[in-house]
Amino acid sequence: MTRIVLLGGGVGGSMVANQLARQLKAEVLHGDVEITVINQTPDHVYQPYFLYMAFDQAVPADARRDERQVLHSQVRLVVGEADRVDRDASAVIMQDGTKIPYDFLVIATGSRPAPEQIPGLTEGGHIFYTEEGALKLRDALQNFQGGRILVTVSVPHKCPVAPLEFSMMVRDWLNQRGMESAEVLYTYPIGRLHSLEPVAEWAARVFPERNIQSQVFFNVESVDPENHTVTSLEGDTVSYDLLVAIPPHVGQTVIQRSGLGDAGGWIPTDRYSLEMVGADNIYVLGDATNLPISKAGSTAHFEADVVSANLINRIRGGKGSARYDGKVFCFIEAGADEATYIKFDYQHPPKPQPPSSMIHLYKLAFNKMYWLSAAGIL
Ligand SMILES: Cc1cc2nc3c(=O)[nH]c(=O)nc-3n(C[C@H](O)[C@H](O)[C@H](O)COP(=O)(O)OP(=O)(O)OC[C@H]3O[C@@H](n4cnc5c(N)ncnc54)[C@H](O)[C@@H]3O)c2cc1C
């Protein structure tokens, strides 16, 4: 029997598991293939809803489903925290000591914000990149009386466009509440407003039109929660009335404990085959890779197609030659009721389209249809 273990049951892990279960149905029913997902929690969490939770346009129930129900009935689910991957034993070792052996391992453990890397940030700032943080920010926005909302971005972080989306949404949110005089100030660590150049150029055009201020070359060094200031490595100090920070992200601790990652906990991954470098029975997808592409759910989705195709092909005697072309597609909310989108790959840079209310409706519709795509139906 071939044992396929998926470490992480978020976007990437669930999509691969469901595609395998559908396409290897005969092998699974015959007992030739076993598919196991290991996930820390019984819930599957769809993180894009956190952005809407901050504006009270979504609640935690919108973002959560029972992972058992998201997974195909032929996929085995183990709920618990993996302690480490033991490559010598070809097994995942759980925190309770249980060993889960694999013939093929797929790592899709995602990433996490690391506010602890910036002194004062946890005490002084709001972070909508977690459910808890989004709900706290919602409460803070409800009580906001005016002044400056400071949106600081540190890299790397997942969903590279979410800070732009938040800035444009909060601008409209303030205007709709008669707080036109409140300031929105967005800071970015390099010399432009976004790591993707065409997106940076687009933001540089629309921010002034929308009365959003910006400052570049601002690498957040520390936060002073008492005096409500943020200081950058470049030596600038900026005051805030409400701080919304996107902290730098790191790979999950299980990757570091297993010695599989680089200094940031990102796993060296072949950009085309999605195999872990130096391990032909381990695939990596989603945020966990070290690939220089957006850490986004859509990235995990397109990568899932390649990982599934390669696993199916290899199990049936092939060489697993499907290649990921770097495809990413992201909707970008551009205010309260319009959005744009970008799509790009290794060869083609993104070109933001003119925002429209239709694209905004597509984004809202996709959020609801996500559960079908996680189930492998869409
Ligand atoms: C506010 C916000 C808005 C976003 N908006 C968008 C958007 O509009 N479009 C888009 O494409 N992307 C968006 N994203 C990014 C997207 O959610 C992530 O890039 C995507 O979830 C990554 O998928 P993944 O499978 O790599 O990891 P995840 O979906 O994060 O799944 C990782 C899974 O691994 C599990 N895990 C981790 N460690 C262990 C362990 N030790 N043992 C067992 N299980 C473990 C976790 O419990 C989790 O279920 C957004 C993210 C945020 C925070």
Strand partners, 33: 2
Q: Which residues contact 16 (CB under 8 A, 6 or more apart)?
A: 6, 106, 108, 285, 304, 307, 308, 311
How confident is the model at residue 30, as a pLDDT? Answer: 96
How confident is the model at residue 375, as a pLDDT? Answer: 83
How confident is the model at residue 376, as a pLDDT? Answer: 75
Average confidence (pLDDT) per 10 residues, the chain, 378 residues: 98 98 96 98 98 98 97 98 98 98 98 98 98 98 98 98 98 98 98 98 98 98 98 98 98 98 98 97 98 97 98 97 98 97 97 96 95 82
Cα-flanking dihedrals φ and ψ of residue 350, to 5°?
A: -70, 155
Ligand 1 atom closest to the CA of 331, numbered from 1: 8
Mutating to test ligand 1, I would choose from 15, 107, 109 the residue with most ligand atoms within 8 A of its C-beta, which is: 109
Cα-flanking dihedrals φ and ψ of residue 206, to 5°?
A: -85, -25
Q: Which residues, judged by CB distance below 6 Å to any ligand atom, belong to the binding site of ligand 1? A: 8-13, 38-41, 47-48, 50-51, 81-82, 108-110, 128-129, 158-159, 162, 252, 254, 286-288, 295-298, 300, 330-331
Strands 242-246 and 82-86: unpaired
Long-range pairs for 20-26 at CB < 8 Å and ≥24 separation? 20/75, 20/308, 20/311, 20/312, 21/71, 21/72, 21/74, 21/75, 21/376, 22/72, 22/376, 23/308, 23/312, 24/312, 24/315, 25/74
Helix, coil or strand: residue 334: coil
- Helix pair 11-23, 357-374: axis angle to 10 deg: 60
- Please check whether residue 341 is in contact with residue 353, taking contact to mean a CB–CB distance below 8 angstroms: yes
Atom 17 of ligand 1, residue of closest alpha carbon: 47
User: How many whole angstroms from 324 Cα to the centroid of ligand 1?
Assistant: 19
How confident is the model at residue 175, as a pLDDT? Answer: 98
Helix, coil or strand: residue 91: strand
User: How many whole angstroms from 11 Cα to the centroid of ligand 1?
Assistant: 6
- Domains of the chain from N-terminus onward: 2-110+252-327 (3.50.50.60), 114-248 (3.50.50.60)
Atom 30 of ligand 1, residue of closest alpha carbon: 110
Length of the chain: 378
Strands 99-101 and 76-79: unpaired
How confident is the model at residue 258, as a pLDDT? Answer: 98
User: How many whole angstroms from 13 Cα to the centroid of ligand 1?
Assistant: 10
User: How many whole angstroms from 15 Cα to the centroid of ligand 1?
Assistant: 12
User: How many whole angstroms from 371 Cα to the centroid of ligand 1?
Assistant: 14
Query: Which two three-digit tokens encode residue 331?
Result: 């909707």
Ligand 1 atom closest to the CA of 46, numbered from 1: 17
Whole-number Å distance between alpha carbons of 18 and 375: 6
Atom 20 of ligand 1, residue of closest alpha carbon: 297
User: How many whole angstroms from 120 Cα to the centroid of ligand 1?
Assistant: 25
Ligand 1 atom closest to the CA of 111, numbered from 1: 30
CA dihedral 90, 93, 99, 103 (to 10 degrees): -30
Ligand 1 atom closest to the CA of 297, numbered from 1: 11
